[in-house]
Structure 1
Amino acid sequence: MNEQKPLKQITYSCYYNQTREGEQFVPEHVFSYQIAGTLTMSDGDKQYTFHEDCFRLTRRNSLIKFTKQPPANGEYKNISVYLDQQTLRSFGMEYGYTSEKHLQTPPVMLLHAHPLLKSYIDSLQPYDALMHGNNEVLLSLKVKEAIAIVLQTNPALKDILFDLTEPGKIDLEAFMNRNFHFNVPLDRFAYLTGRSLSTFKRDFEKTFNATPGKWLQHRRLQEAHYRIKEKGEAPSDVYIDVGFEDLSHFSFAFKKMYGLAPSKI
């Protein structure tokens, strides 16, 4: 059983069983607090683990895979506040915040605990009523409060939160070889590489001599074959990790490419 109560810009998650979420494109900065259980996140290169009482910031425009693990005989609980670009832009103009440099940091960062952060999270506990009725004004104030407290306790995050620029054009080949296993729409890949969808498709075919769809499937199957044959992993543990949504579709495509079902390798 799992339950997620949407609070619009603030979400409270509660899970009774381990959930393997696959992947997610993170369009906005997210300030989160781990109430109970463990969250494991991966950007494809590195894994990040957050336990109970951990604060974190996930950067916008990130590709992340994650697994939620409840504690023994308990529930996984997490609360997240979405620091959207419109609110950040308005906040920056009102209080004079701007980004002075572009910082290269991991997509998710552990924030040091601070009494102000904890008191803010505690103040959200009675806000279950926000799920009902029109509470946009109250939600907006709580998001602005989160921004102010995150900046107060972590001043260095100013250059991250107020960097409102869109992704610039980057090396397509390096990006795709690093992120092919994320199962997101092509327009997301295009956006993250600083291209329109049409330019992305055109540049892709020039770079890889194949359409994005064909190349992605081929590359994902190659990775799956390597992990099953060389590392002894089970197909059921591999197919989501390499970018497939459905085990039967994965098995069909795998057999078509290699002549054997993945379970026979």
Structure 2
Amino acid sequence: MPIENIPEIYIEDKEESPDLFVYDFKMTNDIVKSKVNLGMNMFSFLQVGKKQVHFAGTAVAVNKDQSLLLKKGNWLWTELLDTNATYYCKLFFFSDKKLKNFLDKYSEFQSIAKDGSPYFIIRNDAYITSYLNSLSTISEVPTVFMENLLAVKFEELMLYLLQKYGRKFEIYLHSLIVKEKSQFKKIVESQIDSNLKLEEIAFLCHMSLSTFKRYFIKEYNVSPGKWLQDKRLQKSKEILEQGDLKPSDIYLDFGYNNLSNFSTAFKNKFGFSPKEA
């Protein structure tokens, strides 16, 4: 299943990186399952059909009576047709910059951000219906006015949801802003026991491989390949010292293609072979 980078695939001018972006998603296929790299936080206003979104450790399903605010990240989602063989939702993407500006302006809290739920369910009501109609109306305005109009509509929506859901929504908005450094280290250090390649870890960090390497060296003062090798060899040594497993049982788990390469790297680091651990 190919990875879809959203909203990039919907933006016609690939040189642009808008802070606010609206896209009307429609389909008439039976079922669409998508592996998605969501690069911006996103409102998904479902109007016809059903949507299921799977995250790490949790999932959520909504119908046309509900909408979702989704945290940026890597998700798997399924869009199901309604009885009239149509699926339609309006997507409203917003950058961290716009969210931070809104919270600086309207939030009473300064430091309550925690890495919480990846979604917030919004109950569709008369206001949401009217709001979506207004978004459709402004889609026809000249591009030169669009940026300012979307900024006004974004603030209007956020203020409405803030008064509707209160502190629960405010705390959720803060949770969307996770410091890159802490999140980066959390992802990297969770992969010590895995056999993922650097390219795969970079994807989980939402970075290209070259960006990942530069950021890693800045944070750890060593190359990611060297750091991961040392951490994984140390972990493998601890496992072998327990006496329950042999080198041939574990080398694949620590990213080595064969036992010989594992044994050589192990001996270079510790001065003795894994059989002697």
Asked whether the 8 Å contact 1:34–1:54 carries over to 2, the reply is yes
The change in CA–CA distance for 1:206 and 1:29 in structure 2 (over 3 A counts) is same
Residue 107 (1) aligns with residue 118 (2): yes
Question: Does 1:53 find its partner at 2:65?
Answer: yes
- The two structures have a TM-score, normalised by structure 2, of 0.60
* 148, 156, 168: which one aligns with 1:137: 148
Which residue number corresponds to residue 33 of structure 1? 45
Unaligned runs of 5+ in 2: 1-8, 12-17, 234-251, 256-277
**Cα distance in 2 for residues equivalent to 1:90 and 1:202:** 39
Residues 83-94 of structure 1 correspond to what in structure 2 (within 5 A)? 83-94=94-105
- The CA RMSD over aligned residues, in Å, is 3.8
Equivalent residues of 2:45, 2:90 under 8 A apart: yes
Counterpart secondary structure, 2:92: strand
What CA distance in whole angstroms lies between the structure 1 residues aligned with 2:139 and 2:193?
A: 43
Of 45, 50, 72, which aligns to 2:83?
72
2:32 to 16, 19, 25: 19
2:245 is matched with none
Residue 9 and residue 96 in structure 1: after superposition, are their counterparts in 2 closer, same or farther (change >3 A)? same
- CA 1:142–1:173 in 2, change beyond 3 Å: closer, same or farther? same
Q: Is the 8 A contact 2:51 2:63 kept in 1?
A: yes
1:47 offset after TM fit, Å? Answer: 2.4
CA 65–208 in structure 1, closer or farther in 2 if over 3 Å, else same: farther
* 8 Å contact from structure 1 (residues 40, 48) kept in 2: yes
1:220-252 CA deviation, whole Å, 9 max, x = no partner?
Answer: xxxxxxxxxxxxxxxxxxxxxxxxxxxxxxxxx
Scaled by the length of structure 1, the TM-score of the pair is: 0.62
Please give the per-residue CA displacement for 1:43-84, whole angstroms capped at 9, x wherever unaligned.
132222121221111123x32111222223422111122232
Q: Which has the larger radius of gyration?
A: 2
Equivalent residue for 1:187?
Answer: 202
Task: Report how many residues are paired.
Answer: 206
Matched, 1:118 2:133: no
Return the alpha-carbon distance in structure 1 between the equivalents of residues 95 and 140 of structure 2.
22
Percent of residue pairs identical: 14
C-alpha deviation, 1:202, in angstroms:
4.2
Comparing 148-157 with 87-96, greater Cα deviation is found at 87-96
Taking the aligned partners of 1:56 and 1:177, their CA distance within structure 2 comes to 34
> Deviations 1:161-202 (Å, cap 9, x if unpaired)?
235342413264646889x7xxx8643434699x93445544
Give ranges in structure 1 of 5+ residues lacking alignment.
210-214, 219-265
Given that 1:117 and 1:150 are in contact with CA atoms closer than 8 Å, whether structure 2 keeps it comes out as: no
Q: What is the CA–CA distance in structure 2 between the aligned matches of 1:71 and 1:173, rounded to whole Å? A: 43
